Amino acid sequence: MIRSALEFLGRRLLGWLEMVGGAWRLVHQTAFWAVFPRTSRVGGLRRQSIAEQMVRVGIRAVPIVCLVNIVVGMILAVSMGGPMRARGLIDTVPGIVALAVTRQLAPMMTAIVMCGFVGAAMAAELGTMTVGEEVLALQVSGLNPVRFLVVPRMLAVVLAMPCLVVLANFMGMFGGYLVGTHMLGIGSAKYLAVNNLAASAVDIVRGAFFKGTIFGMLITSLACHEGLSVTGGAEGVGRATTRAVVISMVAIIVADLFINVLFFQTMGK
């Protein structure tokens, strides 16, 4: 039984390592085709494809990102309102909400939403193309699948994620503002003053542009890797879609931990 358990864990570990290596290679190839697009005989990047992907992953994700983050901001304010009021520190709620939203919740919740909204769609779409031998047809025609299928998606998500996180910051703090002013009895002017004092530009840049970019790369690389590695027909597409969502969420949480440790070690906060 012990041997079987060790074999199972070994297979799982090797599978995870293979997935991480494949995703990293995909990021490397994507960076090459994005920086040196004209090394191919077919010319530069297809701007129309990038624009179409940005509409799909950016503009269409705005409603769900706004809804999720405004509710998260409200939940945080309600959760902190009771303990802070009991300690006579109710006026600190706006600062707590602002720091939590800009540093952690807005990037994290936006990335998790994008895992289900974008990652699953990419894995399913590319998996269907792989099963239908459309990817093989590109290779036979002398066209690089990474350049035509992955680069537009990667650039679109990486460009859209910081914008979505900035919007999520605003919506999360707005949710806290609604609860703080209507339920906790904090004056509007006072709430905004404390909120604006706590939410620094460094926190917004760290959450939106640094974390947003890294999370976007993780979501796209893992989803595209799973989609391009599909085997087993329609059932394989379903498995790849599920794996892409689950693994992306785990990778985002782990990456968030390392980013926070990095900033704590370098900036002390």
Answer whether residue 229 shows pLDDT above 90: no
Highest mean pLDDT among 23-32, 112-121, 137-146: 112-121
Instruction: Let me know: does 176 contact 76? Beta carbons within 8 Å.
Output: yes
Dihedral in degrees, nearest 10, Cα atoms 67, 69, 74, 79: 140
Q: What is the pLDDT of residue 253?
A: 93
For the ranges 1-15, 120-134, 164-178, the lowest mean pLDDT is seen at 1-15
pLDDT band at 42 (very low <50, low <70, confident <90, very high): very low
Answer whether residue 207 shows pLDDT above 80: yes
Instruction: Let me know: does 7 contact 198? Beta carbons within 8 Å.
Output: no
The chain-wide mean pLDDT, for the chain, equals 85
Instruction: Let me know: does 69 contact 104? Beta carbons within 8 Å.
Output: no
Dihedral in degrees, nearest 10, Cα atoms 253, 77, 202, 254: -10
Answer whether residue 20 shows pLDDT above 80: no
Using DSSP, state whether 186 is helix, strand or coil: coil
CA angle 87, 90, 94 (to 5 degrees): 140
- 49-86, pLDDT tens digit by residue? 778 888 888 888 999 999 999 999 999 999 998 888 88
Which ranges in 87-229 belong to alpha helices (H)?
93-100, 106-114, 120-131, 134-140, 145, 151-182, 188-198, 201-204, 212-228
Residue 58, domain extent? 2-267
The domain total for the chain is 1
pLDDT band at 257 (very low <50, low <70, confident <90, very high): very high
Which one has a higher pLDDT value, 141 or 252? 252
Q: How big is the chain by its Cα radius of gyration, in Å?
A: 21
Q: How much is the pTM? A: 0.85
Average pLDDT value for residue range 152-180: 93
Sign of the CA dihedral with 77 first, then 82, 84, and 89 last: positive
Total number of residues shown for the chain: 269
pLDDT band at 44 (very low <50, low <70, confident <90, very high): low
Q: What is the pLDDT of residue 85?
A: 87
Q: What is the pLDDT of residue 12?
A: 73
Q: How far apart are CA 58 and CA 51, in angstroms?
A: 10
- 258-269, pLDDT tens digit by residue? 998 988 888 766
Instruction: Let me know: does 52 contact 255? Beta carbons within 8 Å.
Output: no
Q: What's the DSSP call for residue 1?
A: -
Which two tokens mark 115?
Answer: 């895992």
Average pLDDT value for residue range 154-180: 93
Residue showing tokens 């904090």: 186
